A and B are shown apart, each in its own frame.
Chain A
Amino acid sequence: MAVVFEPTKGLTDKPFHYCPGCCHGIIHRLVAETLVANDALETAVGVASVGCTYNSYEYIACDMVQAAHGRAPAVATGIKRNLKDSFVFTYQGDGDLASIGTAEIVHAAARSENITVIFVNNAVYGMTSGQMAPTTLVGQVTTTSPWGRDPSYQGYPINVSEFLSNLAGAAYVERVCVTDFKNIQNAKRAIQKAFNVQKNKLGFSLVEVLSTCPTNWGKEPLAAMDWLKENMEKQYPLGCYKGADITFDEAGNYVSGSIPATANNCVNVGEVKK
């Protein structure tokens, strides 16, 4: 008998508080498994954001820093600039990253900070009970768009992966989901790729993971997954938006592919500049 799947030591023993069917549990696990697979549990530092995952530091077993709402990329900048060889990541929801944190995410990407952002997009503010988010779909009913998001006074959703990929500093940006086995394996591959991008000091990486929010969407977990497939994937197509051609060898070393020219803010400044 061989164990083919068991709980990872990248997660603590604490049971998740997330709602039944919430994708956070799956995504936390993928991040944790990546830390373990790359022998990074003892050196990595993660930044927890504000939202349902405010206490993700109780679940993910590497060192963690809790950040104010939206500020995780700035906090991660402060950490990574000092711990240049440690894997530093943020874990943020769409309210955190695309609303209050818009400046921080744009500039971390523009500066090509050598960090990895795990961006969980469930088109709603979860923790605070279901308000409209920058990623809420047109027509989607939320507690602050009670007749469905109306562009005439509530504007349009923001496609984060697309707009960040326009920044020269963004090295790798990919959008995935975790609706089924094949997609979960793909999401894990993307997170591993982001890890390799950071390890090789290639610059800013972001993996956007479409997620359900059964409680605030008012749907059972399976129905929520269906809604995601039928609606969210139309607004937020899966795929790699930047860095598709970046490749690594078996040992995770950079082989080829276009990367930001000045990706290496992590390279020592070296000789004294006059």
Chain B
Amino acid sequence: MAKGKLTFNENLCKGCGLCVAACPKKILELDKTRLNSKGYHPATCVNPDECIGCAFCATQCPDVVITVERF
């Protein structure tokens, strides 16, 4: 059961992948199936149920893409 919820302001994402590496639960990926308005593969949470709301991803993100809520 998810402890946290992520919201991505997708069009700010530059596909740098730092959040993917930062996530301790390894539930973030760059979505290779699509591009955002900047032409990058945006970061996305592939397993939201596992999110613990630690905000490691948002803290690491250089582009302030992610908002984190905790239950």
Contact = CB atoms under 8 A, between A and B. Distances in A.
A and B touch in the complex (CB under 8 A): yes
Nearest to B24: A181
A221 B14 CA distance: 11
Contact of A4 (B21, B60, B70): B70
A21 B14 contact: yes
B35 interface: no
Interface stretch (A5-13, A80-88, A157-165): A5-13
Contact of B15 (A6, A7, A20): A20
B28 interface: no
Interface string B7-40: 0010010111110011000000000000000001
A23 B62 contact: yes
Interface size class of A (residues with CB under 8 A): 20 to 34
A35 B70 CA distance: 25
Interface string A83-104: 0000000000000000000000
Contacts of B61: 25-26
Interface string B25-68: 00000000000000010000000000001111011111110111
Nearest to B53: A4
B70 A26 contact: no
Contacts of A25: 61-64
Q: Which 8 A-B pairs have the closest CB atoms?
A: A25-B62, A20-B14, A21-B16, A20-B16, A5-B68, A5-B58, A5-B55, A221-B16
Given A11-B64, A15-B12, A221-B18, 18 more contacts: A1-B69, A3-B67, A4-B53, A4-B68, A5-B67, A5-B68, A20-B40, A21-B14, A22-B62, A25-B61, A25-B63, A26-B61, A26-B62, A29-B64, A181-B22, A181-B54, A220-B17, A222-B21
11 contacts: A1-B69, A2-B70, A3-B67, A5-B55, A5-B58, A8-B64, A16-B62, A20-B14, A20-B16, A21-B62, A25-B64
Interface of A: 1-8, 11, 15-16, 18-26, 29, 180-181, 184-185, 214, 220-222, 225
Interface of B: 4-5, 9, 12, 14-18, 21-22, 40, 53-56, 58-64, 66-71
